[in-house]
Chain A
Amino acid sequence: MNKPSEPSFRRMVRLVALGLFSFLLPSPLQGQSIPPRQGEAFPLLRFPLLGGKKGETRTLAAWRGHKVLLIQFASW
């Protein structure tokens, strides 16, 4: 048997509320499983420096004050 249809206004309000609620909820992907996105500060992780002294590390803070192009690549 078909359900009686809801008035379209109430339906719309529900949809908008649901949309707002979903928007405000933190995405389950947020956290450390996604790469930094536009508008986010790149995490200040300490990485070993290739060719540096043993144990030498850097964070991106080393280049603060400069525009940086961070290029992720591989030699293969």
Chain B
Amino acid sequence: MWYRKLLEVQKSGDLQLVGLIQEQHPERCRLFMAWKQMRFPILVDALNRASVHAIPMMWALDEKGVVVRTRPSMDWLREEFLPRKSVAKNGAENAASRPALRRVEEGAGVRAYLAGRWTEAVKAFARDCAARPSDGVPFFRLGCAYRARFDSAEREEADFQNAIDAWTQAIALSPANYIFRRRLQQYGPRLSKPYPFYSWVAQARREMKARGETPPPLRVEPKGSELAAPLRGDLPAASAPEKEPDPKAGVPSDDKDSVAFEAVLAPRPARLGANLAVHLIFRPSLARGTTWDNGAGPLQVWLAPHKGLRVAHRLWTHPLPKQASTAEERSIDFELALPKESASPLFLRGYALYFVCEKKSGLCTFLRRDFKIEIPLQKPKSKKGSGG
């Protein structure tokens, strides 16, 4: 592992390791560091203010903070960089010999994001997007702010989908930026994933517990597409016929919104002939005091895809927790393969069935939620120029 090699290099002289991470959920990196027993300070750059385009990246900085080399090799660090005489004796600064600092403009959005004022950050980045519609940076940051608000107590409707939309636009404007690309891939279909993103989390926790250590907690658990392995080739088909759970629509409809429902598509707009990740999110209503009645049965989703759309399964069942009653958010994540051509708009229809209890009335009921999700499509590219 690169960290072990760096520790060896560090023994050759005075070298401070400093990490820089662009992850949306930095505490996941904290768990990773604890698992791998990596001990050096980490700076969190979720908005990619360092303007990194590729990963991984390294900078060797001299005692004055000047970049001596980018992507240095271990040999260069050991043989040239560390033995090199200090450019600033005792850390003293010589302003005349120091290259000018690049001026980095940081607007209200960055300040609000760093202070955790998500709504203010969303508004400021949205203004930046309007002012610089051909620049991917504000769109990327807008996506980060929406997703941060989605993960907070201030969540507003469509925050997650708005994040996906903004990241999709950021990549359309800056297709070579891997930081932007990875953020969308985190929530996108397996076909576009280079590797599973957070499948290591379970292993890290197991191994740390076996060592007698307490893994640092995660504020947002990775799930669905964040854990999925990449897929090469077509979506696998269901091995056995699947039985529709409520074909005659006999289960009463959840007209009172005991459970809030949200569908998120990634990427959006989607591309014909490509796969799309679908996240169906169900949240028991806080106002009504709704809880999942786990003793009665699981949350199930039945899909009736529009002609030409393909899914691996039509019936999806959310695993049941051990407790009889819980109120957590649940998500059914799956992929949808789009046809290569379509003359008409595409829709995904289906319904969810769930058992819930309401604190106010004390009633426990079996309910049904029907949905019809439109799948916006990318405009076909003109043959002349790619318009990336």
User: Which residues of chain A have a CB within 8 Å of any CB of chain B?
Assistant: 30-51, 55, 57-58, 60-61, 63-76
Contacts and interface: CB of A to CB of B under 8 A. Distances in A.
Contacts, number: 201
Interface string B1-13: 0000010000001
Contact of B55 (A50, A70, A72): A72
B114 interface: yes
Contact of B100 (A41, A50, A58, A69): A41
A71 B105 CA distance: 23
A39 B13 contact: no
A1 B119 CA distance: 64
Contact of A36 (B13, B59, B200): B59
A68 B87 CA distance: 13
A38 B50 CA distance: 14
B55 A43 contact: no
A74 B23 contact: yes
Contact of B69 (A38, A61, A71): A38
B104 A37 contact: no
Interface stretch (B14-22, B205-213, B306-314, B372-380): B14-22
Contacts of A40: 66-67, 99, 102
A50 to B, nearest CB: 4
A55 B116 CA distance: 9
B42 A49 contact: yes
B286 interface: no
Interface size class of B (residues with CB under 8 A): 35 or more
Interface in B171-203: 182, 186, 195-198, 200
A70 B61 contact: yes
Contacts of B82: 67
Contacts of B200: 75-76
Given A71-B56, A73-B56, A76-B197, A41 B51 contact: no
Contact of B102 (A41, A58, A60): A41
B51 A72 contact: no
Given A50-B26, A70-B61, A71-B56, 16 more contacts: A38-B70, A39-B99, A40-B67, A41-B64, A42-B65, A47-B45, A47-B49, A60-B18, A64-B91, A65-B91, A66-B16, A66-B63, A72-B19, A74-B23, A74-B56, A76-B200
A67 B20 contact: no
Contact of A50 (B42, B53, B197): B42
A47 B99 CA distance: 22
Contact of B44 (A37, A48, A66): A48
